[in-house]
Chains A and B, each alone.
Chain A
Amino acid sequence: MKNRDVDLESVIDRYSDMLYKICFLILKNEQDTKDVLQETFLIYYTKKPKFENEEHKKAWLIKVSQNKCKEFLRFHKRHAALPLEDMEETLVITDGLSGSDKEILSLIWDLDYKLKSVVILFYIEGYSVNEIADILKTSPSAVKKRLQRAREKLSVKYKREVAYEK
């Protein structure tokens, strides 16, 4: 039996849930999400990158996992991205949420990829526009534009305003 790798175990324990939530929202199926996380942690384990601090490590893991999500979406054939209501037949996702929160989640679920990635990082993970630009390797203005478009889409669909605070 191999000795436990404390660092690997710790990074999976600390960050896998956060990455799982983000990637699951983007890929909309469990199998591809598992595969993306596998690839992400394998790169971490084999590359053993150095980080300035925990925030740097977290951003790096998000960045790698998002690149993997992109690869999966490009070559997606086998595992279907399921509508939220279908997903709920097998997984508990909206239990305990209010009716309006279910609506919000459903609308985020249906956003296209570019908009959804910035919505998740900005609203859910709390990154700033500049930090998102760095993670997604794009410009701050592009991030702002995507956030604006996402807000418009959500607002139009909801007929209510969704908060966006710089």
Chain B
Amino acid sequence: MKNKINKDLISNIEISDDMKEALYINCLKNRSTADFRFKYSGLLSVLIMVAVFGVFSIGASAAIITFWNRISNMDDEEYTSYVAEVDADTFISTDEGFSRELTLDEIKRIIELERKYYDESVFPEKIMPHYQTRDEMSDNELAYVVSDNLVYLPQKEMDDEQLLEYIDHDAKKRYVNIQELRAEGIEPGQGMALESTPLTDGSIEAKAKKAADKYLKDYYNLVTDDSWIVLVDIFDEEEDRYGNIMTLGILHYYQLGTGYATSYDVYLNADDMSLLLIGEAGYGSILYSKNYTFAEAEEYVKECEGKALEAVKSEFGLENPDSIKYDFEGFNLEDGKTASINYEMKFDERIVYAEVRIEDGEILYLSRF
């Protein structure tokens, strides 16, 4: 029978020569995407390094040490069960790996509980069981079932103990996954760490951090403490999409956890510390704000556009855009609901993005980079 699925279907999907060259140049510069989504693997890489050398740097909290002891001291049986789980679902995304989606309330409680787990060593009383088949499960149990390669969540909302088991399972599975990848010589992601980038007084990294702190205070009223990891990367002679050469500073702010909590990115032109991009990411930024249907959100398009224009003028000195396009940001919550509006503004050849939370007009994302 003739195969109807073949290379011709995707013949139009092509990488551009410019993108190839950018990949090449970035590799020579040893430049990772430094994306916040790799933070966990980075965290665990550092934890593994700590295990090897047996030394914690100054600043590692007692809770972090306890956490590391917990995941690195799994007994053989538990470790092996996680290896099997990792092997079985090499390509499972979050949505596919569980019997149902988390409810918004569960996500909220996970965000709260993971702070206790990582920062205060509040661990579950038992560990999530691994069963061969679903028959072995009790009703409303939280468990991984080997034959289905699925984590079954109870039909009713999980209680605190189950949520802690969920957080614990997530941390251990990543730890094992990274061990397995490393055994194959594959680095599980670069650019993220357990500890903040060490800063020397007067260095460009320290100046960038100071500038970024101020932007975060101004935009989000955020003052970070020791529970925040701040990564600072400086790239010399970086070229933006308009051909401008600059020293680029990229700063990531996050706390350890499952990835639902709010994290922040700041991009700076480190030559003058002017802002290129500031963004708030994670469910935490919208879970506690009101959601709107797309029809309801339409009524706020003009009002939020005013906020976006104000921020763009104030920060970038740009006004009277040639064109404005908008779309609703859904963050994969409930279909047809949104909490923010994203604007794309064109000023001559320059494109600026501004995302505005509908409920309070806060700028969630601003970029001229």
Contacts and interface: CB of A to CB of B under 8 A. Distances in A.
Chains A and B belong together in one complex: yes
A37 interface: yes
Contacts of A101: 4, 8-9
Interface residues of B, number: 57
Nearest to B93: A73
Given A71-B41, A73-B94, A136-B90, A43 B3 contact: no
A95 B14 CA distance: 13
Interface in B1-19: 1-15, 19
Interface in B77-108: 87-94, 96
B186 A43 contact: yes
B28 A124 contact: no
A123 B282 contact: no
A75 B282 CA distance: 9
A9 interface: yes
B343 interface: no
Given A64-B186, A137-B87, A142-B88, A163 B1 contact: yes
A20 interface: yes
Given A74-B259, A124-B6, A20 B13 contact: yes
B13 A21 contact: yes
B281 interface: yes
B2 A163 contact: yes
A25 B24 contact: no
Interface string B282-314: 110000000000000000000000000000000
B23 interface: yes
B187 interface: yes
Contacts of B30: 42, 45-46
Given A5-B28, A104-B9, A163-B1, A43 B37 contact: no
A112 B9 contact: no
Contacts of B26: 38, 42
B66 interface: no
B40 interface: yes
Given A13-B20, A16-B15, A39-B190, A77 B37 contact: yes
A55 to B, nearest CB: 17
A95 B189 CA distance: 36
Interface string B52-92: 00000000000000000000000000000000000111111
Given A43-B186, A114-B96, A163-B2, A94 B23 contact: no
Contact of B24 (A12, A70, A94, A114): A12
B15 A20 contact: yes
Q: Is the interface of B mostly helix, strand, loop or mixed?
A: loop
Interface in A1-34: 2, 5, 8-9, 12-13, 16-17, 20-21, 24-25, 34
- Residue of A45, A74, A96, A161 ringed by the most chain B CB atoms within 10 A: A74
Given A113-B96, A123-B3, A35 B9 contact: no
Contacts of B27: 5, 8, 12, 38, 41-42, 44-45
Nearest to A2: B28
B38 A124 contact: no
A56 interface: no
B37 A70 contact: no
B331 interface: yes
A150 to B, nearest CB: 9
A8 to B, nearest CB: 6
B50 interface: no
A72 interface: yes
Nearest to A125: B7
A67 interface: yes
The 3 closest A-B pairs by CB, nearest first: A75-B37, A73-B93, A123-B5
11 contacts: A5-B24, A41-B23, A42-B27, A45-B30, A71-B189, A73-B93, A78-B281, A80-B330, A93-B12, A113-B92, A113-B96
Given A37-B19, A39-B38, A97-B9, 20 more contacts: A20-B13, A20-B15, A34-B22, A34-B23, A38-B23, A42-B32, A42-B190, A43-B186, A67-B90, A67-B186, A69-B91, A75-B36, A75-B39, A77-B282, A77-B331, A94-B12, A100-B4, A108-B5, A124-B10, A138-B90
